[in-house]
Structure 1
Amino acid sequence: MSDLDIETIIKKILAKVEDAFNELNLPKTPYGRNELWEGITNYLKIKQLRDKIEVYTSDGEYTSKSITIAGFHEIPQETVENTIIPALEEQLTQMFFNPDFYYRFEYKLTLVFEFQFGLGRHFQKELTLEHPERKAELKERLDAYVQKVIYDQTAKMKEKEIHSFFDKLFDFELNGYSEDKVIEILEKGFLLIDPKWKKTMEEYLWCLLYYSNQWKEQVFVPLYYNVKGEDWSKEYTLKKDLEVKNIDQAKLNLFIQQALWRIKYKEYSWDVRFACEDLERAAKELGSEKAAMYLKKGTGILPDNLIHYKDDDIECDANDVFATITIKIKQESAATYDKALDFIIALLKTDFPRSYEIKFSSKAPKQFLDIKGIAKSSTHRFFAQALQYEELHSKIAAYAEAAMREFEWYNDIEEGEKSCMPGSYAVFGLGLISEEYFPLVSKYFELLDDEHQMVHKYFVSALIDRYGVNENSLPLICQGITSAQFDMVFKNLAKELENPEKKQLLINFLKEKEESFAADKNQGSYKYYEEEIYYAIYGKQWKKKI
């Protein structure tokens, strides 16, 4: 193959690199996306297999730009190694340091060439390019950002900045921060995000779990462990001759903290299991007394008398790391459940997590509220048992008042249709016992997360079965119907409204609602409200049935 042919091949490959960047719908200037986004990628790979050349701009290798160069596999290995790859390396290095193309790269780039020559012969070369001036500029920008957003709080963190913020914060070579400082920054950052900014909060939590886990797997674990296997079957063996005194305590702190984050903000049910295994390694193998304490009694912030109670009838324990309340009933009685409720309510007056679960054990036959569709969890069972005792109803109502909080959840239910706000089972049970608790139910409907909670639709149906339609129940039923985004048709409500007097109650109620909306100069919203109510009664054909 002639020199011209080789030169043409090099140009074609470089043109495909250009295509890979030009096809990305991203700003063409450094920091064009946000003030910490210095460029598109820190990874570029050129991979060849026979006549196909692929260009990857991320190490995940999910997508690539490719070109087919007929006869490439016939080029001698020496020509590829000594001519083509050096030429590509030179051109791409020039591109990296060219100010016109700064937007394409972060301050540091991993450049990889991977070629195959048949008969199992492979050639791979990896090199790192780093731009000191761009690194210094990014360091200044990160320091300024942390100061104004985290410490001075003169600017708010924007959703589009979060990924870049985490990426730079876990680049310890860039920022020079200690692991303890990173923990402090991330804890402060979390507190600065309003829970109502759902997308911002979700992005922050995703990045918190992703980047801390990446740091664990890529930085911390290789320092102290030999790892065999992948994913679910990994085996961790301490490196030989490792002494506890030689373990970097700041890194160990971050290792422990990432486990705590994974427990508290778990994305999947197995996150807690893996995080607990990390804490056990830290405690048993790496000598962390802090991790041992977390496993046994939580953070240690709450006094012992608040997290442990025991007598002949009951044993109660709480762990604010795992957000668990363990109730072990030895003697079934109103007095025993009264003690359990006192224990829980006292916890909720502290900084104990407001999303939690109750691990309940009792020798009594299992029973649950008579509401189809709600989860038969341990927390549910505890309140179903306690509600048997009439003398405890006021105490259970007090618990509900203390427990109810928007954007918080019982943790012993997988995220989904059956998820519910703390206090739910107490409110459901009391609401079905007496109209006396209607004000509590109304407050519950006002507080719940109407964008994410759906399970209370089954409670609304149970309310209809229990009370039918009357002057007291109708406003509450309508409040329940409009308190969430579920398209449920309540056939039992339609049956009730076959009674002319009850249907007139609905007509009068909606007329009062219309007047109320008009008084608030919000007439447009009334039409939506009316449609939501009628749909819940008659379904899609509601206009034909009213």
Structure 2
Amino acid sequence: MEYTLEAILEEMKMEIDKWLIFISDKEAEKIVKRTTLQAGIHGYALLEYADGRVDVTDNLLGLTEPGKRKQNTPEQLTEVQVREQIIPELASYMLDKLKALPPAVLDYRFRFDGKFQVSSGVVNVRILEYADEAKRQQLLERISFYISNKLEAGKYPTKPLETFFLARQLLDEGLYPVLDFGRIIAVYEKILELNKGNKHLAEHRNTITIALRNWVEDHWLPRYFENTGTQWQTGFTKKIDAVLENAGQETVELVIFAAVCILKYEPSYSRSAGLAFLQCALELGSVQAARLINHGSGAFAEEVMRLCNDQVECSANDVFAEVRIRIHQESEESYAFALRFLTNLLKLGFPKSYQIKFNSTVKHWLPLKGLGKTGTHRFFANALDYPGVHPLLEEYAKAAMETFEWYTDAEGEKCCMPGSYAVFGLGLTDQAYFPLVVQYMEKVDVEHQSVQNRFTAALIEQYGIYREMLPVMLTCMLYCTDSLKLKMKGELEDTRLLRVLLDQVRGLHYYQVEHLVYLIWGGKNKLQKLADKAEGEQKQYLAGLIQAANRS
């Protein structure tokens, strides 16, 4: 088949038509009504031509990379044809099509790129950039109204979807040709403040951090640095003529803010990016970056962040959310000193999602499988060896426990809320700390933590099951996941314990009781079979549990 220019253009137009039909979602109007901050759904398209084939997609990366696709037919297009004949024609064609689309389909701005395989190689080019000024102005008004009424005058948590759009829009130079970096940081901080203690806090943090990281990597870094990193390791080299102009001084503040967000809130594998951003700011002469790296943000007094004596050295950096503890002499006094340092830090507002870099000749671990063998874990396991510091461990745990906060050196199945190691150790050591265990469990985020399963099983194995033990045992079980494995059905054949269990669950929601039934007996069906075979009071109590586990 001979690929004429006219035939190729016609095929390109057909693929554009197909893609436009695909994106013209009848639900578009409904989708954008979820939040006033969404002007439209689609803002980008890429037309790719290679080997006689046309693809239109909204994938920024494209469908293929040069050299990845086996070329079966010689490309007849030239770069001159693409630039002088194809691009003008496609730009005009796409513009007419865009104007006919329902308003909700397109964002306020739409970019159309091309990637063409030609006889001399690959041509990447912007075909069309279309902006709806009326929609842009409307979006700016909505953003201003949202910031004023929902954030600055706000008292309640905000929606993650709103942050998803706003975090990116504040950095969009199409909306704000001159970015107000101080205002941007203030808005981000207000979002985090309003959502403190909310279950979506981590999502807001992640959304803001991603928006910032993309801005730094796509817009700021290319002005001053060459990307010399690899897919696996971040790396940037300062351009020979790179100079931070006066107008660029404020931009560094946002770069540093992005770095701090990555270091504080993102998983450990992202830390290299945060450190690289700080290093780049440092290379451009940022005094603030140097201070943050060496001393932290400066929000805390020096005597709060650094304490030492002959037995122990303690220091902290709130930017990295790290505490360093070096034990020179293993003693009760050393761990008491370090615990007072930690507790005071947290009470004064140090990030509760943090980690301990611990240096000691002693290596103890809590008797629980599945916990991360980290410096943070080892510090508290070591401290537990000294009964005299147990009250200090309790005081620390009460200051540290916070829903949706985490020790940052344990991830995945091993992640845990601050205070976990202290609570687990104390709970397994002395029943006097059962009230602390209950306080802890009531703060656990079951959706993102499961180490409490191991602790609960160990607690039951340590103390057994008896009347006084049931309340704390049931509280622990309520905040465990369905994967918890227990061996306690035999003990609950005791009618007296069964009656106490039924009394304990009467005030719970049916789904909570259903969860307990599943953990103990494997589900309501299995409990029903057991009840069918039971007699007397046992049958009565089992039936009562089944009734409590059913939706009324």
Instruction: With the length of structure 1 as denominator, give the TM-score of the two structures.
Output: 0.85
Structure 2 residue 276 is the aligned partner of structure 1 residue 277: yes
CA deviation vs aligned residue, 1:121-162 (integer Å, no higher than 9, x gap): 758554433343433333233222222222232897433333
> 1:66 maps to what in 2?
none
Structure 2 residue 367 is the aligned partner of structure 1 residue 370: yes
Structure 1's 133 and 337: CA in aligned 2 closer, same or farther, altered over 3 A? same
Write out aligned runs for 1:70-81 (5 A). none
Give 1:41 shift: 2.6
Instruction: With the length of structure 2 as denominator, give the TM-score of the two structures.
Output: 0.84
CA deviation vs aligned residue, 1:228-283 (integer Å, no higher than 9, x gap): 344334542222233456561111111111000111110x3221222122212322
Q: Which amino acid aligns with 1:135?
A: R
| 1:354 partner SS | coil
Structure 2 residue 40 is the aligned partner of structure 1 residue 55: no
Conserved? CA contact 2:478–2:516, under 8 Å: no
Write out aligned runs for 1:326-405 (5 A). 326-364=324-362, 366-405=363-402
Q: Which runs of 5+ in 1 are unaligned?
A: 64-70
CA deviation vs aligned residue, 1:501-543 (integer Å, no higher than 9, x gap): xx234212123125445xxxx5x4575255135237x998555
Conserved? CA contact 2:111–2:130, under 8 Å: yes
Cα distance in 1, alignment partners of residues 115 and 356 from structure 2: 54
Cα distance in 2, alignment partners of residues 304 and 208 from structure 1: 30
Give 1:196 shift: 3.2
> 1:145 maps to what in 2?
146
> 1:188 maps to what in 2?
190
> 1:252 maps to what in 2?
252
> 1:12 maps to what in 2?
14
Q: Which amino acid aligns with 2:275?
A: C
> 1:311 maps to what in 2?
309
Q: Which amino acid aligns with 2:276?
A: E
> 2:502 maps to what in 1?
511
Structure 1's 17 and 300: CA in aligned 2 closer, same or farther, altered over 3 A? same
> 2:544 maps to what in 1?
none
Write out aligned runs for 1:472-511 (5 A). 472-491=468-487, 493-494=488-489, 497=491, 503-511=494-502
Say how many residue pairs are matched.
Answer: 520
Cα distance in 1, alignment partners of residues 383 and 77 from structure 2: 80
CA deviation vs aligned residue, 1:34-81 (integer Å, no higher than 9, x gap): 323223333222222233221123423369xxxxxxx99778988776
Conserved? CA contact 1:482–1:533, under 8 Å: no
Structure 2 residue 130 is the aligned partner of structure 1 residue 129: yes
Conserved? CA contact 2:482–2:519, under 8 Å: no
Conserved? CA contact 1:341–1:395, under 8 Å: yes
Q: Which amino acid aligns with 1:482?
A: L
> 1:293 maps to what in 2?
291
CA deviation vs aligned residue, 1:200-224 (integer Å, no higher than 9, x gap): x454233212211111111111111
Conserved? CA contact 2:325–2:356, under 8 Å: yes
CA deviation vs aligned residue, 1:290-331 (integer Å, no higher than 9, x gap): 111211121111111111111111111111111212111111
Cα distance in 1, alignment partners of residues 235 and 449 from structure 2: 39
> 2:438 maps to what in 1?
442
Cα distance in 2, alignment partners of residues 400 and 76 from structure 1: 69
Cα distance in 1, alignment partners of residues 410 and 311 from structure 2: 28
Conserved? CA contact 2:225–2:238, under 8 Å: yes
Structure 1's 471 and 127: CA in aligned 2 closer, same or farther, altered over 3 A? same
Conserved? CA contact 1:534–1:542, under 8 Å: no
Cα distance in 1, alignment partners of residues 308 and 27 from structure 2: 61
Cα distance in 2, alignment partners of residues 31 and 460 from structure 1: 45
| 1:402 partner SS | helix
Q: Which amino acid aligns with 1:445?
A: M
CA deviation vs aligned residue, 1:478-519 (integer Å, no higher than 9, x gap): 22122222322213x346x18x6xx234212123125445xx
Cα distance in 2, alignment partners of residues 367 and 29 from structure 1: 57
| 1:112 partner SS | strand
Cα distance in 1, alignment partners of residues 122 and 369 from structure 2: 64
Q: Which amino acid aligns with 1:150?
A: L
Give 1:412 shift: 1.5
> 2:172 maps to what in 1?
171
| 1:399 partner SS | helix
Structure 1's 60 and 207: CA in aligned 2 closer, same or farther, altered over 3 A? farther
Q: Which amino acid aligns with 1:109?
A: F
| 1:61 partner SS | coil
Give 1:8 shift: 5.7
Larger mean CA deviation between 377-386 and 507-516 belongs to: 507-516
> 1:427 maps to what in 2?
423
Q: Which amino acid aligns with 2:514?
A: Y
| 2:175 partner SS | helix
Conserved? CA contact 2:453–2:481, under 8 Å: no
Sequence identity (%): 30
Q: Which amino acid aligns with 1:377?
A: T
Write out aligned runs for 1:218-233 (5 A). 218-233=218-233
Cα distance in 2, alignment partners of residues 526 and 80 from structure 1: 65
Q: Which amino acid aligns with 2:470?
A: L
Cα distance in 1, alignment partners of residues 216 and 312 from structure 2: 40
Cα distance in 1, alignment partners of residues 307 and 464 from structure 2: 43
Structure 1's 474 and 29: CA in aligned 2 closer, same or farther, altered over 3 A? closer
Q: Which runs of 5+ in 2 are unaligned?
A: 65-72, 532-552
Conserved? CA contact 1:489–1:539, under 8 Å: no
Cα distance in 1, alignment partners of residues 374 and 101 from structure 2: 60
- C-alpha RMSD over aligned residues: 3.2
Structure 2 residue 23 is the aligned partner of structure 1 residue 21: yes
Structure 2 residue 531 is the aligned partner of structure 1 residue 531: no
